[in-house]
């Protein structure tokens, strides 16, 4: 799984050196290049815009050069999109130009994924499928034999002042569109990018959306919001009555269900903009930690499958929930606990042993800590000379497995 961040706000358009250096030092080695940073879409189609394009390319080339120096991969590109009513142009024709510019850049930097929003404005709702079919198939023809994958994205629209679901917000519709487009080009060239912020904005069940997309999902845009405004905030940074407003539980469960192995992109431009430049390196370290956390949670079952044998540490709620969820597929040999009164007893049918028994394990055994005191127990096991130490968390298990003593 790739953990990346959007370039928007994290990198200065004119002077990208510092931002990219901070990103690299934080351990983030992939980035989504948001092309709208460079194009003034309010001036699109004007003489001033045409004159500015040369400067845009010079800045993009400089951005790519610094990425190479910092060993940061441009893992995906987000094509710019004309905002409705900003200009009076042929929407299809001009949006094709912007998408092709992004594809040209993907060729230059050997990037294999370009996120291109569907066309949602300027046409009758009943005609949007045909318009988008023409739009995307022309882009596929423009790509030709290059290994570049076009990703559609879920959209919302405003109706009488309310945000409602727009094109590509229904997973069944998305799969039908992708199947039709891929069938037309004769290869698997079209995929999907899920914007979690849009799901939050329209009150959508993220689990149903993710699980309905199955293998079509390539990229997930990660951002927090307040459920009303289209914001790009750091996950868990906005809460109401102590609860985040984004359904991270549904997202993680859904991605775990489909065995997601794509790219997670942090879209946090609003949070970054409020931070002093001096504080941003610390923020980027937090983004890296969050990326590692999401990756760990999503890949929980993949981590379990690495080991031919498994032993648990802890005889409490988390151990109980592991047994309910994974005991059939990944049965543990035993569990152990620091409470000597439990040694030799049975917990949910599993024998509880002295931690010293861990020293007798073979090298192909994983020891999974099922206890909230992860760091303390890990230090204990390291000092004992135990290998293959892993963390297990029941925080995002399906509800029917979740139980507390």
State the CATH number of the domain containing residue 321: 3.40.50.720
Residue 88 above 80 pLDDT? no
Q: Kindly state whether residues 271 and 322 are assigned to the same domain.
A: no
Q: Kindly state whether residues 229 and 294 are assigned to the same domain.
A: yes
Of the residues 298, 323, 344, the one at which a domain ends = 298
* Tens digits of residue pLDDT in 118-134: 988 766 666 888 999 99
Q: Kindly state whether residues 135 and 253 are assigned to the same domain.
A: yes
Q: Kindly state whether residues 220 and 251 are assigned to the same domain.
A: yes
Q: Kindly state whether residues 273 and 391 are assigned to the same domain.
A: no
Cβ contacts of 252 within 8 Å, gap of 6 or more: 294, 297, 298, 396
CA distance 400 to 368: 22
**Could you tell me what percent of the chain has a pLDDT over 70?**
91
Q: Kindly state whether residues 290 and 241 are assigned to the same domain.
A: yes
Cβ–Cβ < 8 Å for 130, 92: no
- 39: helix, coil or strand? coil
Q: Kindly state whether residues 292 and 319 are assigned to the same domain.
A: no
- Host domain of residue 332: 307-401
Q: Which token pair is 141?
A: 């023809």
Place of tokens 């060993």: 71
Total domains, the chain:
2
- 115: helix, coil or strand? strand
Mean pLDDT of the chain: 89
Q: Measuring CA to CA, which residue among 375, 261, 281, 386 is closest to residue 336?
A: 386
Largest separation between any pair of C-alpha atoms in the chain? 81
Place of tokens 């949006």: 95
Of the residues 268, 298, 328, the one at which a domain ends = 298
What count of Cα atoms within 13 Å lies in the side-chain half-sphere of residue 281? 6
Q: Which token pair is 314?
A: 């802890």
Q: Kindly state whether residues 200 and 105 are assigned to the same domain.
A: yes
Banded model confidence at residue 399, pLDDT cuts 50, 70, 90: low
First to last CA, the chain: 35
What's the pLDDT score for residue 94?
A: 81
* Tens digits of residue pLDDT in 4-37: 999 999 999 889 999 999 999 999 999 999 998 8
Q: Kindly state whether residues 371 and 286 are assigned to the same domain.
A: no
Of the residues 272, 298, 324, the one at which a domain ends = 298
């Amino acid at each position: 799984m790739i953990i990346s961040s959007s370039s928007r706000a994290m990198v200065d358009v004119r002077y990208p050196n510092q931002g990219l250096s901070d990103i690299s030092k934080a351990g983030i080695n992939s980035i989504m290049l948001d092309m709208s940073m460079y194009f003034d879409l309010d001036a699109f189609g004007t003489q001033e815009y045409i004159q500015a394009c040369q400067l845009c390319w010079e800045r993009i080339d400089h951005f790519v050069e610094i990425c190479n120096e910092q060993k940061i991969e441009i893992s995906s590109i987000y094509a710019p999109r004309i905002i409705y009513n900003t200009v009076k142009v042929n929407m299809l024709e001009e949006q094709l130009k912007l998408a092709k510019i992004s594809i040209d850049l993907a060729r230059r930097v050997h990037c294999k994924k370009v996120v291109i929003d569907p066309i949602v404005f300027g046409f009758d709702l009943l005609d949007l499928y045909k318009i988008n079919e023409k739009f995307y198939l022309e882009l596929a023809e423009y790509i030709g034999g290059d290994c570049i994958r076009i990703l559609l994205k879920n959209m919302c629209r405003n109706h009488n002042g309310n945000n409602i679901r727009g094109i590509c917000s229904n997973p069944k519709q998305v799969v039908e569109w992708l199947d039709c487009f891929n069938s037309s080009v004769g290869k698997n060239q079209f995929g999907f990018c899920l914007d979690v912020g849009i799901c939050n904005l329209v009150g959508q069940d993220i689990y149903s959306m993710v699980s309905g997309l199955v293998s079509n999902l390539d990229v997930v845009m990660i951002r927090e919001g307040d459920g009303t405004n289209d914001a790009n905030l750091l996950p868990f940074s906005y809460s109401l009555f102590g609860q985040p407003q984004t359904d991270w539980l549904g997202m993680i469960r859904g991605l775990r269900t489909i065995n997601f192995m794509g790219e997670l992109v942090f879209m946090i431009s609003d949070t970054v903009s409020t931070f002093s430049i001096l504080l941003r390196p610390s923020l980027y370290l937090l983004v890296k930690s969050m990326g590692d956390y999401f990756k760990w949670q999503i890949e929980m079952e993949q981590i379990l499958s690495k080991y031919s044998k498994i032993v648990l540490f802890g005889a409490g709620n988390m151990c109980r929930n592991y047994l309910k969820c994974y005991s059939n597929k990944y049965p543990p040999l035993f569990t152990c606990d620091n409470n000597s009164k439990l040694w030799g007893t049975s917990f949910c049918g599993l024998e509880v042993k002295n931690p010293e028994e861990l020293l007798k394990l073979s090298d192909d055994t994983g020891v999974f800590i099922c206890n909230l005191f992860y760091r303390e127990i890990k230090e204990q096991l390291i000092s004992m000379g135990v290998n293959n130490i892993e963390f297990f968390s029941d925080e995002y298990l399906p509800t029917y497995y979740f139980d507390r003593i």
